[in-house]
């Protein structure tokens, strides 16, 4: 295990002087966009994360000033990546301790973020969407979306934003954060979100993000609002399945089947599919879902989702036991559920919020630059079901 040579306690007495010196270089126009200095700021903030309250406002002011400068003409992608990572460290360090601090971050960061979006600084928009998602995810439970986030939502569905591949992962996460924190407030935009889902699912490169969004809709939107659209959604899923049964797509669609049954029940699932084609529900079980689980054991949260979905299917579908074919399917589904439960890979114990930040390679990526310090563990779609 890697041991950090310098701890937060070692840094604490020197924080003021350290950041004054580092930002002296950042503020120097002749030395602008120095990636080594910005990386040092990011690492120092992370090491000192428990002792930042006294310097957080000054550091945030300096970082947003730097952002406003480089947004006009970004030159060094690595330096700019570390700049956004530094903001993410601050958000994580402060809001983990006090979720109410999200209000202050919103007030401070929305103006520079809106400037980036209005100027269409394409290098920076994926970062902005990730940080907006991070702040929204930290908002106190029951606080809703707030005025700033509510006014920002409709423009996020603009097709042009989704044309840029680098935006897609971050935008998907941001929409999912909106659903988790205030689905009832954006219910009138459900058709717009389903339009985004349809656009994403049509592309092999984006199909995983299409399912991230669809799962968010099924988990958080009021069921009576979602149900009228389910026939069309299942139709889209079946057409894509018919067009090409790739292992990746089969994995995504069977994960969704389990989630849908877990939330809506086995009968609704069967009714929806059988309305498209009589017997389709059982046919998918025998030709798609069960073969996938026999070949491949899902892990962690998908494993839990599969067990929940399969258990509901086994217990809530008595019609399955009415003929030999149904009984065989029932037995195979039970065997799949038992296999998942018995697999060590299925347990949730490796889900951690942060891991060891010092071991992680952090930096710019031309396709999509994931902000390490803005990541959060996946949410359990069935928190009410305790782990065995």
* Confidence (pLDDT) at 350: 46
d(CA 273, CA 238): 9
The per-residue pLDDT for 244 is: 81
Q: What is the 3-state secondary structure (H, E, C) of the chain?
A: CCCCCCCHHHHHHHHHHHHHHHHHHHCCHHHCCCHHHHHHHHHHHHHCHHHCCCCHHHHHHHHHHHHHHHHCCCCCHHHHHHHHHHHHHHHHHHHHHCHHHHHHHHHHHHHHHHHHHHHCCCCCHHHHHHHHHHHHHHCCCCCCCHHHHHHHHHHHCCHHHHHCHHHHHHHHHHHHHHHHHHHHHCHHHHHHHHHHHHHHHCCHHHHHHHHHHHHHHHHHCCHHHHHHHHHHHHHHHHHHHHHCCCHHHHHHHHHHHHHHHHHHCHHHHHHHHHHHCCCHHHHHHHHHHHHHHHHCCCCHHHHHHHHHHHHHHHHHCHHHHHCHHHHHHHHHHHHHHHHHHHCHHHCHHHCCCCCCHHHCCCCCCCCCCCCHHHCCCCCCCCCCCCCC
CA 81 to chain centre: 19
Mean pLDDT, 10 residues at a time, over the chain (388 residues)? Answer: 76 91 91 90 94 91 94 92 97 95 94 94 95 97 93 94 94 97 96 97 95 98 97 97 91 97 96 95 95 92 96 91 90 95 75 52 74 92 86
Instruction: Report the percent of the chain where pLDDT is more than 70.
Output: 94
Cβ(164)–Cβ(122) under 8 Å?
yes
pLDDT tens, residue by residue, 126-138: 999 999 999 999 9
Tokens of 219: 């988990």
pLDDT at 349: 60
The whole-number pLDDT of residue 359 equals 53
N- to C-terminal Cα separation, the chain: 30
CA distances in angstroms from 111 to 18, 108, 118, 136, 158, listed in the order given: 27, 7, 10, 16, 20
Classify the C-alpha dihedral 352-354-358-359 as positive or negative. Answer: positive
Q: How far apart are CA 38 and CA 294, in angstroms?
A: 49
CA distance 220 to 83: 33
- Evaluated on CA atoms 105, 364, 374, 209, the torsion sign reads positive
Question: Within 13 A of 42's CA, how many CA atoms are on the CB side?
Answer: 27
Per-residue pLDDT tens digits for 340-371 = 999 887 776 644 444 556 556 677 676 678 99
* pLDDT given at position 363: 73
State residue 360's pLDDT score: 62
What whole-number distance in Å separates Cα of residue 56 and Cα of residue 34?
Answer: 21
Instruction: Decide if 230 contacts 239 (C-beta within 8 A).
Output: no
Residues 6+ apart with CB under 8 A from 230: 272
Buried residues in 264-277 as b, exposed as e (16+ CB within 10 A):
bbbebbbebbeeee
Q: Measured between alpha carbons, how far is 167 from 113 in angstroms, rounded to an integer?
A: 15
Alpha-carbon torsion 367, 372, 378, 379, what sign? Answer: negative
Residues whose CB falls within 8 Å of the CB of residue 295, separated by 6 or more in sequence, listed in order: none
pLDDT digits (tens, 9 = 90+) for 157-213: 999 999 998 999 999 999 999 999 999 999 999 999 999 999 999 999 999 999 999
């Amino acid at each position: 295990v890697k041991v950090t040579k310098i701890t937060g306690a070692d840094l604490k007495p020197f924080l003021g002087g350290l950041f004054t010196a580092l930002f002296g270089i950042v503020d120097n126009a002749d030395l602008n966009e120095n990636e080594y200095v910005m990386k040092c700021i990011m690492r120092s903030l992370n090491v000192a994360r428990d002792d930042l309250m006294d310097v957080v406002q000054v550091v945030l002011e300096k970082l947003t000033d730097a952002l406003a400068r480089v947004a006009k003409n970004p030159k060094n992608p690595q330096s700019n990546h570390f700049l956004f990572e530094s903001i993410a460290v601050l958000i994580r360090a402060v809001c983990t301790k006090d979720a109410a601090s999200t209000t202050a971050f919103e007030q401070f960061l929305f103006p520079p973020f809106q400037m980036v979006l209005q100027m269409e600084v394409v290098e920076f928009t994926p970062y902005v969407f990730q940080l907006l998602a991070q702040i929204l995810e930290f908002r106190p439970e029951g606080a809703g979306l707030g005025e700033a986030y509510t006014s920002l939502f409709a423009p996020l569905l603009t097709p042009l934003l989704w044309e840029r591949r680098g935006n897609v992962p971050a935008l998907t996460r941001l929409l999912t954060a909106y659903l988790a924190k205030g689905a009832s407030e954006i219910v009138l935009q459900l058709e717009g979100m389903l339009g985004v889902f349809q656009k994403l699912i049509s592309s092999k490169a984006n199909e995983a993000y299409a399912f991230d969004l669809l799962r968010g809709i099924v988990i958080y939107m009021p069921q009576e609002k979602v149900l009228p659209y389910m026939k069309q959604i299942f139709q889209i899923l079946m057409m894509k399945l018919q067009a090409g049964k790739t292992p990746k797509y089969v994995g995504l669609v069977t994960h969704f089947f389990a989630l849908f049954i877990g939330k809506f029940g086995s009968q609704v699932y069967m009714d929806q599919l059988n309305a498209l084609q009589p017997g389709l529900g059982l046919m998918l079980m025998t030709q798609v879902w069960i073969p996938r689980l026999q070949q491949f054991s899902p892990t962690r949260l998908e494993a839990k989702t599969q067990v929940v979905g399969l258990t509901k299917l086994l217990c809530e579908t008595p019609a399955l036991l009415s003929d030999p074919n149904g009984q065989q399917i029932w037995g195979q589904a039970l065997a799949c559920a038992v296999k998942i439960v018995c697999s060590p890979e299925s347990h949730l114990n490796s889900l951690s919020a942060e891991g060891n930040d010092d071991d992680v390679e952090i930096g710019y990526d031309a396709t999509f630059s994931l902000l390490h310090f803005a990541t959060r563990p996946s949410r359990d779609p069935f928190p009410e079901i305790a782990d065995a």
